[in-house]
Amino acid sequence: MAHIMNLIGGAFRRPFDQLNTFMLSFSQMFYHAGSHKRRYLQFLTKKLPSGSKATMAPNPCATRWNSWFTTVQYHSEHFGLYKEFIEKEINTCGKTTPASVERLHEMLQDANMAESLQVQISITADKCKVIVALLDIFQSRHPIVTKVFDYLEDLHMKLEVNKELHYEECAQYFEGLDLSFAIKMQILNRVEQAYNNAEDKLNKYMSDGQPAIEFLKEVRVFDPRHIVFMSDCVASYKSIPGFSAVPKDELDAYFIHLGPAALRASACGVVDLDVFWDGLQERLPVLSVLAYKSVIVNSADAERSNSIYKLVLSSRRRSATNDNLKALVFLYHNQRLTSGAFEMDEEDED
């Protein structure tokens, strides 16, 4: 599911070619250039409000989940400072000015281009929040298998509502800017295309693109909050392995009495599924064994492990034994985890 959300996010960001060029150039400006980084951090320290920490922009890496969107959100907070910084870099570097800095200078000196970028960054930073939140949820260690299909349906509704944006709905992003009507419509068309792309990608995975989609629909039956709109017929659940063996009286007891009673007794209608199903092992022995309540729907930990192995198993460690390699990975993982430097290194393998 996290891979799918990453692909939906990739489809969303595809129409923003100007924004992609800007972000790539901004990132390239600091490649192997410690002096640029130092001057940039010093510049931010002077310009940011007191108490704010100057940090480098995230790298919008295509293979690192959410990085493109977190980079957009970073730029939305700092964009107003870039023109002055780039002008200072042009004066400082002179004839040795990197091509990336020259591209940024050219883009920011063009008033229409700079304002267009500002609007695109503002809209994208605001509209991408739902994608960022869902990607974080889908790669978490929390069991959410009974909620996945609802998350996808909610996302589909948000994409459907936003894909035909009218100018009045986005007027706040254009306030104080002197953009022509044609440029404004061009920006809105890009946003509309982004939503259309994301919706098309989501539709693919809500149909045959996700082989488990029927399972994800049906598995909601194990959450009492969903039984009001779920079928109470055993034959309706063909995608849940072993469900055909559930006695009709168990399913009836769950639908008619035990599920509604748990909802009435819960706080704000939220039922702890572990406690609920563990407490019904004697009354609903077959159904409680089948209950999918603790399933993690991602392989993020396995992929992080692969990424760490690639870092540890360098060209200088090709003779390491398996035991030593496992020990080094163990130490490296826990060192990063406890230091707060744990990064999301998952790669898009679709």
* Averaged pLDDT score across all residues of the chain: 87
Q: Are residues 115 and 13 in the same domain?
A: yes
Q: Are residues 283 and 312 in the same domain?
A: no
Whether pTM > 0.75 for this model: the answer is yes
Separation CA 206–CA 17 (nearest Å): 28
**Span 252-304, pLDDT tens digits:** 999 999 999 999 998 777 888 888 999 999 999 999 998 877 677 666 677 77
Task: Determine, yes or no, domain membership for 228.
Answer: yes
Task: Determine, yes or no, domain membership for 215.
Answer: no
Task: Determine, yes or no, domain membership for 345.
Answer: no
**Span 8-54, pLDDT tens digits:** 999 999 999 999 999 999 999 988 778 889 999 999 999 998 888 89
Q: Are residues 102 and 121 in the same domain?
A: yes
Q: Are residues 134 and 256 in the same domain?
A: no
Angstrom CA distances, 219 to 148, 180, 215, 222, stand at 9, 51, 6, 6
Q: Are residues 146 and 108 in the same domain?
A: yes
Q: Are residues 33 and 119 in the same domain?
A: yes
Number of domains in the chain: 3
pLDDT score for 343: 45
**Span 69-104, pLDDT tens digits:** 999 999 999 999 999 999 999 999 888 888 999 999
Task: Determine, yes or no, domain membership for 344.
Answer: no
Task: Determine, yes or no, domain membership for 295.
Answer: no
Write phi, then psi, for 321 (nearest 5 degrees): -75, 165
Task: Determine, yes or no, domain membership for 217.
Answer: no
pLDDT score for 230: 93
Nearest alpha carbon to residue 298 among 144, 92, 109? 144
Task: Determine, yes or no, domain membership for 243.
Answer: yes
**pLDDT tier for residue 236 given thresholds of 50, 70 and 90:** very high
Is the dihedral angle over the CA atoms 75, 76, 81, 86 positive or is it negative?
positive
End of a domain among 180, 205, 230?
Answer: 205
Q: Are residues 153 and 188 in the same domain?
A: yes
Q: Dihedral angle at the C-alpha atoms of 159, 163, 165, 171, nearest 10 degrees?
A: 60
Q: Are residues 196 and 136 in the same domain?
A: yes
Q: Are residues 194 and 266 in the same domain?
A: no
Q: Which of 8-12, 309-313, 345-349 is the least confident region?
A: 345-349
**Span 127-170, pLDDT tens digits:** 899 999 998 888 887 888 899 999 999 999 999 888 777 777 78
Q: What's the token pair of residue 82? A: 């870039």
DSSP letters along 174-241, please?
A: HTT----HHHHHHHHHHHHHHHHHHHHHHHHHTTTTSTTHHHHHHGGGGSGGGGGGS---GGG--SST
Q: Are residues 240 and 305 in the same domain?
A: no
Task: Determine, yes or no, domain membership for 48.
Answer: yes
Residue 238 belongs to what domain range?
A: 222-290
Q: Are residues 200 and 323 in the same domain?
A: no
Q: Are residues 131 and 197 in the same domain?
A: yes
